[in-house]
């Protein structure tokens, strides 16, 4: 399962460029923004 954190303003050209993507452990993101902790996981939204 993969989560994507986006602003909603990304253009297709930006999203299609793999150099604009970075993989982080979800714990790293949770340390930066604890509001993601209660969000669903292991299910398709």
For residue 5, what pLDDT is reported?
A: 86
3-class DSSP state of 45 = coil
Collect all residues with Cβ–Cβ distance below 8 Å to 28 and sequence separation of at least 6: none
Measured distance CA(44)–CA(35) in Å, rounded: 19
For residue 4, the model assigns a pLDDT of 84
pLDDT of residue 36: 85
Domain boundaries, the chain: 1-45
Within the chain, which residues score under 50 in pLDDT? none
Residue 44 confidence (pLDDT): 59
Cα 35 to Cα 16: distance, rounded to the nearest angstrom = 28
């Amino acid at each position: 399962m993969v989560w994507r954190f986006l602003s909603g303003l990304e253009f297709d050209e930006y999203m299609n460029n793999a150099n604009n993507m970075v993989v982080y452990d979800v714990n790293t993101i949770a340390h930066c923004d604890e509001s993601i902790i209660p969000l669903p996981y292991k299910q398709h939204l």
